[in-house]
Chain A
């Protein structure tokens, strides 16, 4: 089932949580709503679910207006950050809940409920835990139960609000890969909220970046990461170095240093901010005088696949650079080393 929101606005008193938001999620897509706290992503999800009533705008499921329909009538599966499991019920009973509370006319027979719940328990890989109470499970296992419970009512749409927010980093990573695999298997239209850019970029088909109640950019993970539409998206998705400078006829200037900036070819002289990601630099021990600036190594962190090198540029600003392990060994970098740095790529946003 596709989801479309048109001109959606929601206020809480004087605070505008979402402002004139338009978005379409195609059938079978897995979409991430990504943004900092207070950006409106959870409110948008709750409005889509029917847990909040919008002040303006419409929500359409399969091009049919659903704004006035109740949440249970929308056939929405909702998963929360804190699992929201019924603590007095076993794993089995939690998952069966949505089927057992149906009116007698639409309720499946007990044998069928049992069969469906066991299938879901298998799907979320908790076969040995069916009789346990939520308090006897780990956080990751509880969230899998919550997901199975949401899926039990065969929802047309699955909405997840910070589903991995309460879990530690390792379990988060495992679960988001598992969610991706599960989605590939089930193809239920799904929207999940996260403030973790790595999670959004790894799990989602498309990422919706939100800020202050508005959508900043919608795109596939490579699109939003490699071609951020706004300075906010650039800053929010991954580490970035900001340089205040100016651009003029295909050149960018930071102080007296001059760099090629093909993206600024037709622009007249303007004040600009240059955004350069840590991997978009080349470091050398010897200067060749071409589009380089001098810097001193302040700190080196070699843990991880890339070595993170904190530099102090010749004009005193800190610069974060990432180099491969091989390059790091070849350069023999350590605190205090003098280096020459050349940006290999940059994005420019004028004031």
Chain B
């Protein structure tokens, strides 16, 4: 994996965690 691909992957993981947190805390919000 290139450094750029690794960077993109880690950004995606962080975004996914943020989105999942938002969904988990927000009533009525669906994935």
Contact = CB atoms under 8 A, between A and B. Distances in A.
Interface of A: 49, 51, 70-73, 76-78, 80-84, 86, 97-98, 101-103, 106, 149, 153
A51 B20 contact: yes
A153 B25 contact: yes
Interface in B1-31: 13-14, 17-18, 20-21, 23-31
B18 A51 contact: no
Given A78-B21, A78-B24, A82-B17, 20 more contacts: A49-B24, A51-B23, A51-B31, A70-B29, A71-B24, A72-B24, A73-B27, A78-B20, A82-B13, A82-B14, A84-B14, A84-B18, A84-B20, A84-B21, A86-B18, A102-B27, A103-B28, A106-B27, A149-B21, A153-B25
A71 B23 contact: yes
Contact of B25 (A82, A83, A101): A101
B17 A81 contact: yes
A127 B29 CA distance: 31
Contacts of A102: 27
Q: Tell me the dominant secondary structure on chain A's binding face.
A: loop
A317 to B, nearest CB: 35
A72 B27 contact: yes
B9 to A, nearest CB: 12
Contacts of A72: 23-29
A76 B14 contact: no
9 contacts: A49-B24, A70-B29, A70-B30, A71-B31, A82-B13, A83-B17, A84-B21, A102-B27, A149-B25
B23 to A, nearest CB: 6
B10 to A, nearest CB: 8
A333 B10 CA distance: 47
Given A49-B24, A71-B24, A76-B24, A84 B29 contact: no
A98 B20 CA distance: 13
A147 B17 CA distance: 14
A98 B25 CA distance: 5
Nearest to B30: A70
Given A71-B31, A84-B14, A97 B25 contact: yes
A82 B13 CA distance: 9
Contacts of A103: 27-28
Contacts of B24: 49, 51, 71-72, 76-78
Of B14, B17, B20, B21, chain A has the most CB atoms within 10 Å of the CB of B21
A72 B23 CA distance: 7
A101 B13 contact: no
A77 B25 CA distance: 8
Contacts of A97: 25
Contacts of B18: 84, 86
Contact of A84 (B17, B26, B27, B30): B17
A80 B20 contact: yes
A264 B26 CA distance: 57
A167 B28 CA distance: 33
Contact of B17 (A73, A80, A106, A149): A80
Contacts of B29: 70, 72
Q: Sorted from nearest, which 4 A-B pairs have the closest CB atoms?
A: A98-B25, A80-B17, A84-B17, A84-B21
Of A78, A83, A84, A106, chain B has the most CB atoms within 10 Å of the CB of A84
Nearest to A100: B25
